[in-house]
Amino acid sequence: MKNLITDANLHKILEKIESSERLSFEDGVTLYNSDDILTVGRMANIVRERKNGNKVYYNINQHIDYSNICILHARCHFCAYARKNIREYGAFELNIEAFLEKAKYAQKNGCTEIHSVGGLHPALPLEYYLELLHRLKEMMPQVQLKFLTAVEIHHLARLAKLSVRETLFKLKEAGLDFIPGGGAEIFAEETRKRVCPGKLSGEGWLDVMRQAHQLGIRSNATMLYGHIETIEDRVDHLVRLRELQDETGGFMAFVPLAFHPANTRMSHLSEPTGLTILKNIAVSRLMLDNFDHIKAYWVMSGVKLAQIALSFGADDMHGTVTEEKITHAAGAETPNALSVKEIVRLVKETGRVPVERDTFYNDIVRENGIWHAKIA
């Protein structure tokens, strides 16, 4: 592999990767600045195969958002999804019965996970979320409930005048299984203030996750890239996630999110290119040596690039999705859902092995329409 390298700066990094040595902040910057995308990708592929062999994970999930009404509707400049109140065009709010109806449909279709997030709703009380989780768990105990970003949890705690720990505890008791990785955006203070002034800080986001992990609730992590952030901001974000993972070990997957500018206050910016998307997947695989999984989130990367990303560090295609709203509000042209057949076709064409997983990366076994997780 050494004689295929066209960027001499990458030789030392390759040596570190081969000896499983941790990369430094400076190495991260070097990787992002390199034009030798194939070497960066090959190195990420080494780590990806070391951790996950030839497997590509996916799950049968459904996204069901409860509401896009958000007190920060005018503050997150990258968001095309939020609305001020229910009277605004495109606003929605699901009552518990309507949510349960959608969930029943998901269950009938063999879903193993419901992924649900929303805006920072000004009025829905903590009891709404607790009852929703409780009734879902009662109705479909096998289905894993991946609900509420760290930012939403912080907001619910404030509304309920409870500590974050107490709020997390109540959510867990009600049936919360897992926390999705959204709301992380970009941690670097100055950039964060420019793209989402007034939002929970990066340290605040990390602290909610720290407390969740301490209570035994596992989560994912994200980074929103391709807007005004610098390369140093991206590396800083990855290093801070790596530090928290050293401390708690609670993160399961990292999901790099490609910015979609349409209908946002940053619509003058261009979308991240294919190379930028592949580089973010590869560099995150290389920097996050203590994360088991990197997702190629096809809704944001595009289906075709997600397939290629499987050779650039990603080992997980996310899921079948159905009804994604956040990226589609911002102009995504990807489909609303992918069938298992299509995911399997995409994966097999790369020469890898598609593996249906549950939320915790246990393999799923299906027999005669019934499924169970094979606990490793």
Using CB under 6 A as the binding rule, whether residue 91 contacts ligand SF4 is answered as no
Closest CA to 177 of 156, 146, 139: 146
β pairing state of 316-319 and 293-294: unpaired
- In sequence order, what are the beta bridge partners of 144? 113
The mark string for 14-53 relative to ligand V47 (x by CB under 6 A, - otherwise) is ----------------------------------------
DSSP 237: H
Which of these ranges, 92-100, 123-131, 182-190, 198-206, lies near ligand V47 under the rule CB under 6 A?
182-190
Give 82 or 314: the residue with its C-beta nearer to ligand SF4: 82
Using CB under 6 A as the binding rule, whether residue 315 contacts ligand V47 is answered as no
Closest CA to 27 of 231, 227, 319: 231
Task: Choose, by CB under 6 A, the member of 28, 41, 182, 302 that binds ligand V47.
Answer: 182
Task: Choose, by CB under 6 A, the member of 28, 118, 180, 313 that binds ligand V47.
Answer: 180
Using CB under 6 A as the binding rule, whether residue 258 contacts ligand SF4 is answered as no
Say which residues have a Cβ less than 8 Å from residue 245's Cβ, sequence separation at least 6: 251, 288, 290, 291
Q: What whole-number distance in Å separates Cα of residue 230 and Cα of residue 6?
A: 24
- Residue in the block written with tokens 């008791």: 173
Using CB under 6 A as the binding rule, whether residue 256 contacts ligand V47 is answered as no
Task: Choose, by CB under 6 A, the member of 120, 143, 168, 294 that binds ligand SF4.
Answer: 120
Using CB under 6 A as the binding rule, whether residue 150 contacts ligand V47 is answered as no
Q: What whole-number distance in Å separates Cα of residue 307 and Cα of residue 261?
A: 23
Of these partners, ligand SF4, ligand V47, none, which one is at the site of residue 120 (CB under 5 to 8 Å by kind)? ligand SF4
Q: Which of residues 135-164 bind ligand SF4 (CB under 6 A)?
A: 151
Residue 29, H or E segment: helix 25-33
Say which residues have a Cβ less than 8 Å from residue 367's Cβ, sequence separation at least 6: none
Using CB under 6 A as the binding rule, whether residue 302 contacts ligand SF4 is answered as no
| Opening angle at CA 213, ends 212 and 216, nearest 5 | 95
Which residues bind to ligand V47, rule: CB under 6 A? 78-80, 149, 180-183, 185, 220, 222, 224, 255, 257, 259-260, 264, 297, 300, 318, 326-327, 330
- What is the contact surface with ligand SF4 in residues (CB under 6 A)? 70, 72-73, 76, 79, 81-82, 119-120, 151
